[in-house]
Amino acid sequence: MSHPSSDGAPADGAADGNTGYGSKPFKRSRSHFADRITADGRDGWPVEAGRYRLVASRACPWASRAVISRRLLGLEDALSLAVTDPIQDHRSWRFTLDPDGRDPVLGIRFLREAYDARETDYPGGVSVPAVVDVPSGQLVTNDFQQITLDLATEWTALHRPGAPELYPEPLREEIDVVMAGVYRDVNNGVYRAGFATGQGEYEAAFRDLFRRLELLSGRLADQRYLVGDTITEADIRLFTTLVRFDAVYHGHFKCNGFKLTEDRVLWAYARDLFQTPGFGDTVDFHHIKQHYYRVHAGINPTGIVPVGPDLSGWLLPHHREELGGRPFGHGTPPGPVPAAEEVPPSGRPEHLLTGS
């Protein structure tokens, strides 16, 4: 069974093999629209300030990668941002947060309209992140794995002064290896557990997830970041799962081996990133909880959104600076969040106490 709108990135419920319980494991499908926006325009889409619009949901971890990268690199003026409603229906992601329910730049009500402009009657799911060509209204790419790498390496002419190197060439081989394990067992692992339809399938995903988290905790015990001594793409990809872990994955997806707050190293690491400009200031916990608990009707048929957990701990001191490291390398932090892109108070951790 397909889950085209379950979390943003395209997914399939079918795969080769079975668990011995009469079910087939969850498998995330490849992005159908994989054109790249490059400095030389070799796919027909050259990097150009103001030409493209990034469509994202703050609920979706895959889209959040692109939102964080865009902010860290200072691409706000070059690549505009559309934020969708966290609740979508059968017509796809909606722009109901905007006046008259239309994206003010693209003029559309549903992201599917940009997909249809590119390929009529496209049969697959409508996913975020999506980059849309503003002049034509056509989808350019929904390749969530490649979008952020290209923002880091192909959009360099438009980076802000002091932008960090998120995918530095000397470290790419190591970054790729780390990211592969994080993707397989953590980013996608929580979904393999959450959408499992058989006990064996679920338990296999559960074991892979917590084995990888323990390995990552060991790796981060004496180094501030995953690769090298600065923030890289690898940290962005792990963060977007960790920041959702206790709020949704621990309970909603049955990933309850331990809470993030119960692992001293991972909890401090995640808080360190959350409190770094460009990370926590893009996170909307209200959107996250509304989406997961209300959209995944097969998992949570009542649609009840839990009050907890208490999320105010994200603002506690982390002391990770004692390990050294330079968050932005030789660069500088990004400036203030543009006023139009600020997360509302309802989504910030200081407003999300248990019982409030």
**Which tens digits make up the pLDDT trace of 23-42?**
445 555 556 899 999 999 99
> How do residues 248-290 score in pLDDT, each as one tens digit?
999 999 999 999 999 999 999 999 999 999 999 999 999 999 9
Residue 25 lies in a domain: no
| pLDDT, average across residues 210-215 | 98
Give the per-residue pLDDT at 25: 59
- CA dist 79 and 67 (Å) reads 10
For residues 169 and 283, give the distance between their C-alpha atoms in angstroms, rounded to a whole number. 28
Residue 268 lies in a domain: yes
Categorise residue 46: left if φ over 0, alpha if ψ from -120 to 50, beta otherwise. Answer: beta
Does residue 107 lie in a domain region? no
Domain residues for 194? 169-351
Q: Does 93 count as an annotated binding residue? A: yes
* pTM of the complete model: 0.92
Distance CA 86, CA 291 (A): 5
Laid out side by side, the sheet with 52-56 consists of 80-83, 52-56, 130-133, 138-141
Has residue 78 been placed in a domain? no
Q: What is the rounded distance in angstroms from the CA atom of residue 284 to the CA atom of residue 133?
A: 26
Which pLDDT tens digit goes with each residue over 165-201? 999 999 999 999 999 999 999 999 999 999 999 999 9
Provide the annotated active-site residues: 60, 191
What are the start-end ranges of the H helices in 35-104? 61-73
283-325: per-residue pLDDT in tens? 999 999 999 999 999 999 999 999 999 999 999 999 999 999 9
Residue 60 falls inside a structural domain: no
Round to whole Å and give the CA distance between 35 and 48: 15
Q: Is residue 151 part of a domain?
A: no
Tell me, what DSSP letter sits at residue 34?
A: B
Residue 186 sits in a domain of what CATH number? 1.20.1050.10
Whether 66 is in a domain gets the answer: no
Would residue 345 count as lying in a domain? Answer: yes
Report CA torsion sign: 4, 112, 55, 133: positive
Domain count within the chain: 1
